[in-house]
Amino acid sequence: MEKKCANCGTQFTCREDSIIQCHCATVKLNDSARDYLKTKFTGCLCHKCLLEVKQRFVTNK
């Protein structure tokens, strides 16, 4: 399914029908990063934005 990133607007393919094949399944986030995403966004994020969130929360431990 084609979606637009809730953060940057980039179009990407979401595999919510088979979540283990979705790009988001490869980005391991800590609890703080997941909590941030839940409160800030209602939709999916592209791979680049997910990696940026991950990096922000790894750096700010």
- Quick one: pLDDT band at residue 46, thresholds 50, 70, 90? very high
| pLDDT value of position 13 | 92
Q: What is the mean pLDDT of residues 47-55?
A: 96
**In this structure, are residues 7 and 47 in contact, taking their beta carbons and an 8 Å threshold?**
no
Sequence-distant (≥ 6) Cβ neighbours of residue 24 within 8 angstroms:
14, 44, 45, 47, 50
Name the token pair of 58.
Answer: 């790894």
Task: For 4-39, write each residue's pLDDT tens digit.
Answer: 999 999 999 989 888 888 888 999 999 999 999 999
| pLDDT value of position 60 | 57
* Domain assignments of the chain as residue spans, ordered by start: 2-59
In this model, does residue 51 exceed pLDDT 90?
yes
